[in-house]
Amino acid sequence: MNKENTRCVITGLGMISAIGNNTEECWKNVLASVSGIDHTKTVDTENCYSDYAAEVRNSDWDNIKGTEGMDRVSKLCIKAVSEAMEDSGLSDFGGDERVSVIMGSCVGGVLSSEKYYTGEKKKELIPQMPISAIASQAAGFCNAGGSVTNIANACAAGTISIAYAADLIRAGKADIVVAGGADAFASVPYAGFTSLHALDSEPCSPFNHLSGITLGEGAGALIVESYEHAAARGAKIYCEVLGAGITSDAHHITAPRPDGECQMNAIRRAVSYSGLTEGDIDYVNAHGTGTAKNDEAEFLSLHTVFDGRNDDLSVSSTKAMTGHCLGAAGAVEAVFAVKALTENIVPPTLGFSDADLEVLAERAGKIDFCPNVPRKKQLNTVMSNSFAFGGNNASIVFSKGEGGCTLHNEKKRIAVTGLGIVTPAGNGKDKYIGSAGSFAPESADLRSAVGKEEYDECGLKMAFYRKLDRFSQLQTVSGMYALTDGGYEVKDENAADIGIIVGTSEGALSPVCDFEMLISEKGNANGSAFKFPNTVYNAAGGYLSICSGIKGYNVTATNGAQSGIFSVAYAMNVIRSGQEKAMLATGTDENNDIMRELYTGLGLASDTPTAPYSGSDKFVLSDGSTTLLLEDEASAKARGARIYAYATGCGAAHKSVPFGTISGSGEALDRAVLAALEDAGLKTGDIGAVVGFANGHKAVDTIETESLRRVFGSRAGELPIFSVKEKLGEARAASAALGAAHAALMLSGSIGCGDCFFIEENGNMRKGSAESDKLDNILVIAYGSGGSYCAVIISR
């Protein structure tokens, strides 16, 4: 790759939080030690032991054209994006395919869920509920045409978004990435943290009283840009984005590992990928939530990593000012870290009395926690840390210097060595091979079923699986199946060499809605500590890490149905960059009474069996989970793994249309396919078949066939198009991942090709059949609401 592309810089900042509507206001208040925490009046606090929150209290920011009707979380996000773009000297990107949008969030459009269940169940609220909407709407606002997704890793989401943005640039897949995170204060997180007794009854005081968090809200946005691109347009450069470390705890769904092992791994990875040593870090913007569990683990991690290697380290938590902004936290704190770096000022950690300072002195050792007031200090390199529910850890480094980023980008082939499949037709790869072809459902309401038999098969104990919501059940079973199928044993020595990307369209939206119904009936004082952890979209990936022992990369990506192969594309990037040797890439979505009500409300769930290309305006709602075990080819061969096929290319693109629709966005599919071909070093003539995404809804099906005709021209009619939805329905991300698994099974000869569709000259579809021995490369495509597309090429 080009040396120039290894340098990523920050060229724009934007934020909104309880202490200001923009970066300048927020930073001014940081320097004045102003806290945004106050008593909340926006949620029901009856019988709740704490009523503090750090909310964006005025509304004079909520006036951006085009955001009318969006959830508050998207409005907050777009406010920060708008500021960051202006700060960077950027405007409407004109659909530029070299511009991506990656946004983190924890609770997404939960206020829309709240309005829906406490009001008249207005259908226009439904598309605003999932996290998926945020990046898509932000991409619409700035008119970005590249890869668009949301990172749904709860409190680490903002940091991971920036890390992934830099990875995309280093992989040569983008010149500019608008990255960050957003979350809005709402009853669900408030009641949830109340039920966990994790809220401080007073304003939170990180690294001090260890008595809980105070929730905040807001958004942070950073323009992450290749140095080359920034320099060519004469952009103002704040700093470099160096390495980032992302790991998972394999420990507990809400509590961090008390031994800090994987937090430390994240910090050490970030330092090492930056080409630096611990002694080079001048300041850490810590996660520092204020809970005993977090802060004690973090004290331990910071001391263990830095003591004796760095005697001049400053650490602070800005959450005493902004509250804990959840999925926005990492983004807001990255903005603060960059401001600290460029202005040579360490932000303070508020809330220490004289007596507290004495206790702090004992805990702090040589680390300066910068209590109460900011401190001037020459800063050359800073770090920002975020740790999340699900056991996710993320650490990122910003610097004035170029560093020596050790991440690379080898366009190597990636082996598909294991498959885990859960569908309404049955569970397990063999069951899929044996019966999916003859599965003939009479209903248009398809649901997968996993239970004791599957848990026993996967070695999962009741003490573990009793906690799982259904989305997590589907995900853990398919994930464990993939490891078993691939003969991949996770042991202490390789646990950090394997990671997870969960792809999902709606993620934990059902548990969110279920929790919302509970508290809207019983009040915020009566949420469920048992149910709340499952409302975070990354719970399923967290549970998979816990039961498999995987301690590497762990990200949940969500942007519509395409997320199920976007996970494959993301995982390929992680392996190619050298961050992991193996990855589980998944697609999981569920159909239950809540999802069925929402899809019926949107007029999309069919009551009768509906075939792809049938010209309907509905589809068969289904669910399931498919996991692919992807491995660095050399590693797979070294352990003698069976290789089904190779993932050789991936591409993603976006053409904004209103979230909840896709018509008019088809040209982005063309670009995603062409990008995947280029990535694989193939031409259209090399593609022997397609696994499509048609589901029976005319708008969806038309985009697929028209795009294939444009991209493949006269060859389009010869291309067999396979459908995993014809028998198994529309399972969104699960269908997309199953499409990739199906392609791998066909190429390995494990499954015959058989029935498929062909495009006739007039654009109609005819049924036919195809021979597998003619196939070398299969194109797998998927769509996402709002105009996001992904394409992956699976090769023999």
Partner 1 sequence: MTENEIKAKLKEFICSTLGVEPDVLDYDTELFGENAIGLDSVDSLEIIAFVDGEYGIDMTGVGKEHFFNIDSIAAYITENK
Separation CA 145–CA 78 (nearest Å): 16
Q: Is 287 a catalytic residue?
A: yes
Cβ atoms within 10 Å, residue 430: 12
Q: If you search the block for the tokens 């640039």, which residue do you land on?
A: 169
Helices (H) and strands (E) in the chain, counts: 25, 28
> Residue 530 CB, nearest distance to partner 1 (Å)?
5
**What burial class does residue 774 get, using C-beta atoms within 10 Å of its C-beta: 0-12 exposed, 13-18 middle, 19+ buried?**
exposed
Measured from the CB of residue 5, what is the shortest distance to partner 1 in angstroms? 45
The residues of the shown chain that bind partner 1, judged by CB under 8 A, are 195-197, 252, 254-255, 461-468, 526, 528-530, 533
Residue 155 designated active-site? yes
Backbone angles phi, psi at 499, to 5 degrees: -130, -175
Residue 462 Cβ, how far from partner 1 at the closest point, in Å? 6
- The partner residues of 396 in beta bridges, in order of sequence, read 244, 384
Q: How far is the CB of 467 from partner 1 (least distance, A)?
A: 6
Based on CB atoms, which residue is closest to partner 1, 469 or 667? 469
In whole angstroms, how close is the CB of 477 to partner 1 at the nearest point? 15
Cβ closest to partner 1, residue 367 vs residue 540: 540
Q: Smaller CB distance to partner 1: residue 549 or 752? A: 549
Residue among 464 and 758 whose Cβ is closer to partner 1: 464
User: What angle do helix axes 157-170 and 329-343 make, rounded to 10 degrees?
Assistant: 70
Q: Which of 287, 654, 697, 742 is catalytic?
A: 287
As measured in angstroms, the least distance from the Cβ of 155 to partner 1 is 17
Nearest approach, Cβ of residue 643 and partner 1 (Å): 38
Helix, strand or coil, per DSSP, at residue 300? helix
Token representation of residue 520: 């809207």
Q: In the complex with partner 1, which residue's Cβ is closer, 373 or 529?
A: 529
Q: Are 173 and 577 in contact (CB under 8 A)?
A: no
Nearer to partner 1, 121 or 466 (CB): 466
Give the residue from 19, 388, 334 showing the smallest Cα distance to 180: 334
At 720, list the tokens.
Answer: 């067999």
- What would the DSSP string read from start to end of 740-788? HHHHHHHHTTSS--EEEEEE-TTS-EEEEEE-GGG-SEEEEEEEETTTE
* Contact (CB, 8 A) for 88 and 236: yes
| Token duo for residue 212 | 């809980």
Q: Give the nearer residue to partner 1 in terms of CB position, either 169 or 198.
A: 198
3-state secondary structure 542-599: HHHHHHHCCCCCEEEEECCCCHHHHHHHHHHHHHHCCCCCEEEEEEEECCCHHHHHHH
Q: Give the DSSP letter string of 216-276.
A: E-EEEEEEEEEHHHHHHTT----EEEEEEEEEE-SS-SSSPPTT-HHHHHHHHHHHHHTT-
Least separation in angstroms between CB 537 and partner 1: 19
DSSP H helical ranges for 32-156: 72-87, 110-118, 132-142
Contact 349, 208 (CB under 8 A): yes
Phi and psi torsions of 8, nearest 5° = -115, 140
Question: Under a CB-based contact definition with an 8 Å cutoff, are residues 181 and 165 in contact?
Answer: no
User: Using an 8 Å Cβ cutoff, are 231 and 7 in contact?
Assistant: no
CA-nearest of 577, 679, 691 to 626 is 691
User: Smallest distance, Å, CB 529 to partner 1?
Assistant: 4
Grouping H, G, I as helix, E, B as strand and the rest as coil, residue 616 is strand
Cβ partners under 8 Å of residue 191, min gap 6 = 43, 48, 515, 519, 524, 525, 526, 527, 532
Given the DSSP bridges, would you call strands 8-16 and 239-248 parallel, antiparallel or unpaired?
antiparallel
Pairing between β-strand 582-589 and β-strand 498-503 as defined by DSSP bridges: parallel
Q: How far is the CB of 531 from partner 1 (least distance, A)?
A: 9
Nearer to partner 1, 255 or 357 (CB): 255
Residue 324 annotated to the active site: yes
Annotated catalytic residue: which of 209, 229, 324, 742?
Answer: 324
Q: Report the candidate in 327, 245, 173 with the shortest Cα–Cα distance to residue 676.
A: 173
Question: Closest CB to partner 1 among 468 and 636?
Answer: 468
Distance CA 619, CA 26 (A): 47
Q: How far is the CB of 370 from partner 1 (least distance, A)?
A: 31
User: What's the min distance (Å) between Cβ of 223 and partner 1?
Assistant: 39
The answer to whether the CB of 396 falls within 8 A of the CB of 387 is no
For residue 232, what are the contacts with CB-CB under 8 A and spacing of at least 6? none
Whichever of 466 and 774 has its CB closer to partner 1, that residue is: 466
By C-beta, is 239 or 546 nearer to partner 1? Answer: 546
For the chain, state the CA radius of gyration: 24
- Write down the catalytic residue from 8, 26, 48, 155: 155
Task: Estimate the crossing angle of helix 509-522 against helix 593-601, to 10 degrees.
Answer: 100
Query: CB of residue 418 vs partner 1: minimum separation in angstroms?
Result: 28
Catalytic center residues: 155, 287, 324
